[in-house]
Each structure stands twice: as structure tokens, then as C-alpha cells.
Amino acid sequence: MSLYSELGGKPAVDAAVEVFYGKVLNDPSVSYFFDGLVMDRQKAMLKHFLTFAFGGHPEYNGRSMRVAHRRQVEQGMSEEHFDTIMGHLGATLTELGVPGDKIQQAATIALSVKDDVLNH
């Protein structure tokens, strides 16, 4: 069974993205990276990526993580910012009642794209 299914599928990913962006956009240490973005579009892109990354869809046809985060890197996004956003992801999943082992699986997936997100 995929992590996507274990988490609850589309309703779970939708809820997680909403809670996650609520946390991120209320954190002044990272929220400015999203200034000027159309958040409905941003949320849709993250839902699409997480659905793929968690095994809910076999293909990902979105932009690469390197291209998708180029603007944020140009704005100075660092490992510290990435770690802050990872903390918001973990807090989101905890708030939604996701078991610790599943949070760890999600974190491992997110960490697997860290170098691309930060354009290393």
C-alpha cells in the first residue's frame, strides 16, 4: 500500500496542504518566499507533487524541483529556511493525527529533493 493510500488519499493530501500553507504563510521567517504567488495555484502544484511523491500517481509532469524553486533560491532561500518548512510539514502531519512512522516516511521523501529545491 502506498503512503498516499495509508495517509487517506486525496482528502488527506488536500487537508495537509491547507494546514501546511496556513503555517508557512503565518511564519514571517519564510512567508515572504510566497509573496506575489497565486496561492490557489501553488496549493494545486503541491497537491500534485505530494500525490506523486507519496505514490498516489505513477507520473509527475510538473516542473522540476530545481526550476520550481529557482525564484526562492534567488531570494536567498537556505538550508535554514528549508528546515523551517520541513518543521511546518511535520507539525501539519502531527496536527492531522498522522502516526510518527508515516511522518518519517513523508520527511524522507521531502529530504530526497532538498538539494534540488536549494539548487545545490
pLDDT at 99: 96
pLDDT at 62: 84
Q: At what angle do helices 79-95 and 9-25 cross, to 10 degrees?
A: 130
CATH of residue 78's domain is: 1.10.490.10
Is the pLDDT confidence value at 115 over 90?
yes
pLDDT at 120: 92
Split into its structural domains, the chain has a count of 1
Q: What residues have CB less than 8 Å from 14, skipping those under 6 apart?
A: 47
Of 36, 24, 35, 49, whose CA–CA distance to 113 is shortest? 49
* Beta carbons of 60 and 49 less than 8 angstroms apart: yes
* Beta carbons of 2 and 56 less than 8 angstroms apart: yes
Domain that holds residue 46: 3-117
pLDDT at 19: 98
- Of 4-13, 54-63, 97-106, which gets the smallest average pLDDT? 54-63
